[in-house]
Structure formats: structure tokens, C-alpha cells
Amino acid sequence: MAGCLVIVLSDKTVTIYDSIEGKDYTREFNDILEMIEYINSCMDLRIMERDTWKLQCAEVLAAKNGNVWDLQDNTFDCRIFMVMYALHLYTGSAMAIKKEKMSHQRLIWLDRIVRNSVVVHDEDDI
């Protein structure tokens, strides 16, 4: 797809590839807000106003290495993933996310949870 941005996440690293410019931007972050500012500067996206509430579901499921994580504990990797996934949801198909060991089924769960701001307490509630 022309202009596709691919975001590849590790624990504290984000890589953004802009196929129009033919460049990729990789950076490591110590702070979630610093990461969001960087993404904004690279892609001119603004997520911290209108869509902020969608990122603040008290207990949203996310997964890493097969484990279920809860955003309420402010786990750094979990919060990065949810911010990036929300960017993917609310900015259309211009970007894709690659996350190792993230199952298709769990992405469907995350899609439903984030889109509807559903509070989920337990994997069995899904």
C-alpha cells in the first residue's frame, strides 16, 4: 500500500517505516509521553485530546509472550502496545502493527475492547 507506515514494537523501541519517503525511524524510549510526542512528530498524528479517553479504559487486556496484562498496573510495554494499537484503530489503514507472539484471536479481543471502551476484568469475561 502506498504510504504505508509499519510500526514494529519491542519492549521500549518503536520503528516507523515511511514507504513514501523510503526512510525508517527507530528510537528507544524511557517514557510513554516522550514516545507519543515522537510518533506525533514523525506522522503528524494527534491522539492526546479527542481520543485520550479511549486509551484510559481502567482494565484493558493486552498480551505479551502469552500472558494477559492489565493496563491498570502501568506496565511500560503494555501501555506502549495499547497506544500503538489505538493509533492503528483510529487513524485508518495507513499503518500496520507487528507484535511477536500476538495471536489473531487476542487482536480481535483487543479490537472489540478498545473500540467499545469495555472494561474487562478477566480473560473469561471476553
Of the candidates 63, 44, 49, the residue with the CA atom closest to the CA atom of residue 109? 63
| 36 band by pLDDT with thresholds 50, 70 and 90 | low
pLDDT at 45: 38
pLDDT at 25: 64
State the average pLDDT for the chain.
47
pLDDT at 28: 74
Q: What separation in angstroms does the CA of 121 have from each of 50, 57, 58, 95, 106? A: 25, 11, 9, 29, 15
| 121 band by pLDDT with thresholds 50, 70 and 90 | very low
φ, ψ of residue 31 in degrees (nearest 5): -140, 135
pLDDT at 82: 54
Beta-strand relationship, 61-64 and 23-28: unpaired
CB atoms within 10 A of CB 70: 16
Beta bridge partners of 9: 14
Residue 95 pLDDT > 60: no
